[in-house]
Structure 1
């Protein structure tokens, strides 16, 4: 199989998986487990500044950023912004809980950050609106 085809297929798969994760997680901020108020309470308990505003920003960022990854538009910007968002989550929420996800540790946000950085480095691939719009 042609290397560019494999590369672009892998980038498409990565964007779709990570994009869905962020869209669904952002939707949970607004529609699940108590909504924005519960998310803000969690943020406040973890020392996140301005927890209610931060909860809204988190939810909107995750939904919009995930949607950008899904359709492949503004992909490197969205992936970079989400990577910074995940680094903030690791600092404010997950860092004090150790490594493993079962203990609310760094494991899962670290994997997501790594995946996002791969998208930043390698771009959206040919199966994206970014590619179509750049022609």
Structure 2
């Protein structure tokens, strides 16, 4: 299992899934739920500067997720998204228990952002792998 091809394939799948999760959440904040509703949610959760934070979170998740998926600037993007998830865990998820399905206010518990943070840290540590734009640029 410690073969480069297996490691690179696992990183590709892992990056792709994690990236698509962030793209979906960014898309939701910006276009599906909308920035006005997202700002209202952020305001209710007492996130500082809720409108600015909603834009920053939505754009960072959408763009960062896309960059993760293709593997461009991967470690920087994963680190930035990990910091974003730490902020989300603190402002949104901390008071809602551990489990995502705790039945409390929307936003879920701490388990979801902790899993995302751990996944992003794995990408920071192990990089994007050879099956990525970063990998192609490193070989060129």
More off after superposition, 3-12 vs 53-62 = 3-12
Q: CA deviation at 1:102?
A: 1.1
Structure with greater helix percent: 1
1:56 matched to 2:60? The reply is no
Deviations 1:12-64 (A, max 9, x none): 0110000000011100001113x011111111111100000100000000011
| Structure 2 unpaired stretches of 5+ | 103-107
The residue number in structure 1 matching 2:130 is: 126
Aligned counterparts, 1:106-125, within 5 A: 106-125=110-129
CA deviation after TM superposition for structure 1 residue 100, in Å: 0.4
Query: Given the two structures, how large is their TM-score scaled by the length of structure 2?
Result: 0.92
Query: Aligned residues, how many?
Result: 134
Q: How far did residue 3 of structure 1 move? A: 1.4
Deviation at 1:97, TM superposition (A): 0.7
Distance 2:115 2:68 in 1: 16
Alpha-carbon RMSD across the aligned residues, in angstroms, is 1.0
CA shift for structure 1 position 94: 0.1
- SS of 1:102 mapped into structure 2: coil
